Structure 1
Amino acid sequence: MARRVFTVAAVVAAAALAGGCTQAVDGLARPARPDVSKVSGLEITTGESGAKPGVPDADLRVENGDGGEMDRLAINALADVAEYWTEQLPANFDGKEFEPVKRLVSYDSNGAGVEICRTNTKGVANAFYCSLDDSIAWDRGDLLPMLDDAFGPMAVVTVLAHEMGHAVQYKLGAKGGVTQATPSIIKEQQADCYAGNFFRWVAEGKSKHFRISTGPGLNQVLATMFFIRDAAGTSAEKQGAHGSAFDRVAAFQFGFEGDPERCARIDEQEIKSRITQQKFDSQDADSGQGKGNLKVDERRHLELLETSLRNAFKQTGAAPPAIKTGGSSCSDDRPTSPASYCPATNTIAVDLPDLVKIGTPPKRGQKGGIGDFAAFAEIASRFALSIQKATGYSLEGPAAGLRTACLTGAWAGTTTEASARLKLSSGDLDEAVAELLADKSLIAADVRGAVVPSGFARVEAFRDGFFEGSGLCTRKYYG
Structure 2
Amino acid sequence: MGRRLVGVSALVLVSALTSACAQAVDGVPKAVKPDVTKVAGLEITTGESGPKPGVPDADLRVENADGGEMDRLAVNTLADVEEYWAEKMPEHFAGKKFEPVKRLVSYDSTGAGVEICRTNTAGVANAFYCSLDDSIAWDRGDLLPMLDDAFGPMSVVTVLAHEMGHAVQYKLGAQGGVNQGTPSIIKEQQADCYAGNFFRWVAEGKSKHFRISTGPGLNQVLATMFFIRDAAGTSAEKQGAHGSAFDRVAAFQFGFAGDPKRCAQIDEQEIKERITQQKFDSQDVDTGQGKGNLKVDDRKYLQLLEESLRDAFNQSGATPPTFKQGDVACTDAKVTSPATYCPATNTVGIDLPDLVKIGTPPKRGQKGGIGDFAAFAEIASRFALSIQKATGYPLEGPAAGLRTACLTGAWAGTTTDAKAKLRLSSGDLDEAVAELLADRSLIAADVNGTVVPSGFARVEAFRDGFFDGSGLCTRKYSE
> Shared topology, TM-score over 0.5?
yes
1:334 paired to 2:311: no
1:247/1:20 CA distance change after superposition, 3 Å: closer
Match of 1:242 in 2: 242
Q: Is the 8 Å Cα contact of residues 44 and 215 (structure 1) preserved in structure 2?
A: yes
Give 1:329 shift.
1.4
Counterpart residue identity of residue 90, structure 2? P
Q: Provide the secondary structure at the position in 2 that maps to 1:13.
A: helix
1:87/1:113 CA distance change after superposition, 3 Å: same
Matches within 5 A, 1:144-293: 144-293=144-293
Instruction: Tell me how far apart the structure 2 counterparts of residues 469 and 258 of structure 1 sit (CA, whole Å).
Output: 23
Q: CA offsets, 1:178-198, max 9 Å, x none?
A: 001000000000000000000
Match of 2:52 in 1: 52
Instruction: Tell me how far apart the structure 1 counterparts of residues 368 and 25 of structure 2 sit (CA, whole Å).
Output: 43
Q: Is the 8 Å Cα contact of residues 11 and 278 (structure 1) preserved in structure 2?
A: no
Q: Provide the secondary structure at the position in 1 that maps to 2:73.
A: helix
Match of 2:79 in 1: 79
Instruction: Tell me how far apart the structure 2 counterparts of residues 216 and 75 of structure 1 sit (CA, whole Å).
Output: 24
* Larger RCO of the pair (alpha carbons < 8 Å, separation 6+): 1
Q: CA offsets, 1:382-402, max 9 Å, x none?
A: 000000000000000000000
Instruction: Tell me how far apart the structure 1 counterparts of residues 475 and 396 of structure 2 sit (CA, whole Å).
Output: 17
Instruction: Tell me how far apart the structure 1 counterparts of residues 383 and 201 of structure 2 sit (CA, whole Å).
Output: 38
Instruction: Tell me how far apart the structure 1 counterparts of residues 31 and 227 of structure 2 sit (CA, whole Å).
Output: 34
Give 1:356 shift.
0.9
Give 1:33 shift.
2.7
Instruction: Tell me how far apart the structure 1 counterparts of residues 38 and 350 of structure 2 sit (CA, whole Å).
Output: 33
Match of 2:398 in 1: 398
Q: CA offsets, 1:202-224, max 9 Å, x none?
A: 00000010000000100010011
1:67 paired to 2:67: yes
Q: CA offsets, 1:43-84, max 9 Å, x none?
A: 100100011111111110101101111111000000000000
Q: Provide the secondary structure at the position in 2 that maps to 1:367.
A: coil
Identity rate of aligned residues, in percent? 83
1:29/1:272 CA distance change after superposition, 3 Å: closer
Match of 1:450 in 2: 450
Counterpart residue identity of residue 132, structure 2? L
Instruction: Tell me how far apart the structure 1 counterparts of residues 62 and 12 of structure 2 sit (CA, whole Å).
Output: 43
Q: Provide the secondary structure at the position in 2 that maps to 1:341.
A: strand
Give 1:30 shift.
3.9
Instruction: Tell me how far apart the structure 2 counterparts of residues 3 and 12 of structure 1 sit (CA, whole Å).
Output: 19
Instruction: Tell me how far apart the structure 2 counterparts of residues 255 and 298 of structure 1 sit (CA, whole Å).
Output: 41
1:470 paired to 2:479: no
Give 1:2 shift.
5.4
Q: CA RMSD in A?
A: 1.6
Instruction: Tell me how far apart the structure 2 counterparts of residues 136 and 20 of structure 1 sit (CA, whole Å).
Output: 43
1:11/1:252 CA distance change after superposition, 3 Å: farther
Counterpart residue identity of residue 387, structure 1? I
Give 1:10 shift.
4.5
Q: Is the 8 Å Cα contact of residues 322 and 348 (structure 1) preserved in structure 2?
A: yes
Q: Is the 8 Å Cα contact of residues 295 and 301 (structure 2) preserved in structure 1?
A: yes
Q: Is the 8 Å Cα contact of residues 188 and 243 (structure 2) preserved in structure 1?
A: yes
Instruction: Tell me how far apart the structure 2 counterparts of residues 163 and 20 of structure 1 sit (CA, whole Å).
Output: 36
Counterpart residue identity of residue 65, structure 1? A
Instruction: Tell me how far apart the structure 1 counterparts of residues 234 and 216 of structure 2 sit (CA, whole Å).
Output: 30
Unaligned runs of 5+ in 2: none
Counterpart residue identity of residue 213, structure 2? S
Q: Provide the secondary structure at the position in 2 that maps to 1:173.
A: helix
Give 1:413 shift.
0.4
Instruction: Tell me how far apart the structure 2 counterparts of residues 20 and 135 of structure 1 sit (CA, whole Å).
Output: 45
Q: Provide the secondary structure at the position in 2 that maps to 1:18.
A: helix
Q: Provide the secondary structure at the position in 1 that maps to 2:181.
A: coil
1:197/1:2 CA distance change after superposition, 3 Å: closer
Instruction: Tell me how far apart the structure 2 counterparts of residues 26 and 173 of structure 1 sit (CA, whole Å).
Output: 43
Match of 2:308 in 1: 308
Segment drifting more, 327-336 vs 460-469: 327-336
Counterpart residue identity of residue 253, structure 1? Q
Instruction: Tell me how far apart the structure 2 counterparts of residues 54 and 446 of structure 1 sit (CA, whole Å).
Output: 41
Instruction: Tell me how far apart the structure 2 counterparts of residues 196 and 435 of structure 1 sit (CA, whole Å).
Output: 21
Instruction: Tell me how far apart the structure 1 counterparts of residues 216 and 263 of structure 2 sit (CA, whole Å).
Output: 25
Counterpart residue identity of residue 367, structure 1? K
Instruction: Tell me how far apart the structure 1 counterparts of residues 76 and 187 of structure 2 sit (CA, whole Å).
Output: 25
1:253/1:212 CA distance change after superposition, 3 Å: same
Q: Is the 8 Å Cα contact of residues 10 and 425 (structure 1) preserved in structure 2?
A: no
1:357 paired to 2:340: no
Matches within 5 A, 1:98-109: 98-109=98-109
Instruction: Tell me how far apart the structure 2 counterparts of residues 332 and 258 of structure 1 sit (CA, whole Å).
Output: 41
Give 1:112 shift.
1.1
1:86/1:20 CA distance change after superposition, 3 Å: closer
Give 1:298 shift.
1.1
**TM-score normalised by L of structure 1:** 0.97
Instruction: Tell me how far apart the structure 2 counterparts of residues 80 and 20 of structure 1 sit (CA, whole Å).
Output: 41
Q: Is the 8 Å Cα contact of residues 24 and 474 (structure 1) preserved in structure 2?
A: no
Q: Provide the secondary structure at the position in 2 that maps to 1:129.
A: strand
Instruction: Tell me how far apart the structure 1 counterparts of residues 42 and 92 of structure 2 sit (CA, whole Å).
Output: 22
**TM-score normalised by L of structure 2:** 0.97
Segment drifting more, 416-425 vs 272-281: 416-425
Instruction: Tell me how far apart the structure 1 counterparts of residues 128 and 370 of structure 2 sit (CA, whole Å).
Output: 29
Match of 1:119 in 2: 119
Give 1:19 shift.
3.7
1:389 paired to 2:373: no
Match of 2:14 in 1: 14
Give 1:312 shift.
0.7
Q: Is the 8 Å Cα contact of residues 31 and 472 (structure 2) preserved in structure 1?
A: no
Counterpart residue identity of residue 69, structure 1? E
Q: Is the 8 Å Cα contact of residues 406 and 463 (structure 1) preserved in structure 2?
A: yes
